[in-house]
Chain A
Amino acid sequence: MRESIIMKIHYGTALGAVALVAIHILMRMSQKYSDSLQYQNVIANYHLLPYALMLEVILVLLSVHGFNGLRVILLELKQGVAYERAINYGSIAAMAALVAYGSRTILMAGMGVS
Chain B
Amino acid sequence: MATVEVSTEKKAEPPQTSVPAPSKPKTITLRISRFNPSENAETKFEEFKIPVQKWTTVLEAILYVKENLDHSVAVRYSCRQASCGSCGMKINGKPRLACYTKISELESNVVTVEPMNNFPIIRDLAVDFKQLFSTHKKMKPFIINEESEVQPGAKEFIQTPQDLEKFLQFSYCIKCGLCNSACPTMATDKSFVGPQGLAQAYRYTADNRDQGKKDRLKIVDQSHGIWRCHFAGSCSNVCPKGVDPAMAIQLLRGYLLGFRK
Q: Is the CB of B185 within 8 A of A76?
A: yes
Q: Is the CB of A3 within 8 A of B221?
A: yes
B21 at the interface (CB under 8 A from A): no
Which one of A3, A72, A76, A84 contacts B225 once the chains associate, using CB atoms below 8 Å?
A3
Which one of B190, B191, B222 contacts A3 once the chains associate, using CB atoms below 8 Å?
B222
B12 at the interface (CB under 8 A from A): no
A55-93 vs B, CB cutoff 8 Å, 1 = contact: the mask equals: 000000000000000001001110100001000000000
A2 at the interface (CB under 8 A from B): yes
Q: Is the CB of A8 within 8 A of B228?
A: no
Q: Is the CB of B191 within 8 A of A79?
A: yes
Main SS class of interface, B:
loop
Question: In the complex, what residues of B have CB within 8 A of residue A75's CB?
Answer: 189, 223-224, 228
A19 at the interface (CB under 8 A from B): no
Question: In the complex, what residues of A have CB within 8 A of residue B222's CB?
Answer: 3
Which one of A6, A8, A79, A84 contacts B190 once the chains associate, using CB atoms below 8 Å?
A79
A3-B223 contact in complex given A76-B189, A79-B189, A79-B190, C-beta closer than 8 Å: yes
Question: In the complex, what residues of B have CB within 8 A of residue A6's CB?
Answer: 227
A84-B221 contact in complex given A72-B228, A79-B189, A79-B190, C-beta closer than 8 Å: no
Q: Is the CB of A3 within 8 A of B227?
A: yes
B68 at the interface (CB under 8 A from A): no
Q: Within the complex, what minimum Cβ distance (angstroms) separates B187 from chain A?
A: 10
Q: How many residues belonging to B are interface residues under a CB distance threshold of 8 Å?
A: 16
Q: Chain A interface residue count: which class?
A: 10 to 19
Q: Is the CB of B189 within 8 A of A4?
A: no
A53 at the interface (CB under 8 A from B): no
Main SS class of interface, A:
helix
B160 at the interface (CB under 8 A from A): no
B56-98 vs A, CB cutoff 8 Å, 1 = contact: the mask equals: 0000000000000000000000000000000000000000000
Q: Is the CB of B188 within 8 A of A77?
A: yes
B154 at the interface (CB under 8 A from A): no
Cα-based distance from A4 to B253 in the complex (angstroms): 9
Cα-based distance from A4 to B221 in the complex (angstroms): 6
B238-261 vs A, CB cutoff 8 Å, 1 = contact: the mask equals: 000000000000000000110000
Q: Is the CB of A8 within 8 A of B257?
A: yes
A2-31 vs B, CB cutoff 8 Å, 1 = contact: the mask equals: 111011100000000000000000000000
Q: Within the complex, what minimum Cβ distance (angstroms) separates B217 from chain A?
A: 8
Q: Within the complex, what minimum Cβ distance (angstroms) separates B136 from chain A?
A: 20
Chain B residues near A (Cβ < 8 Å): 185, 188-192, 221-228, 256-257
Top 10 closest pairs, chain A to chain B, by CB: A4-B256, A76-B189, A79-B191, A4-B221, A7-B227, A3-B227, A76-B188, A3-B221, A3-B223, A2-B221
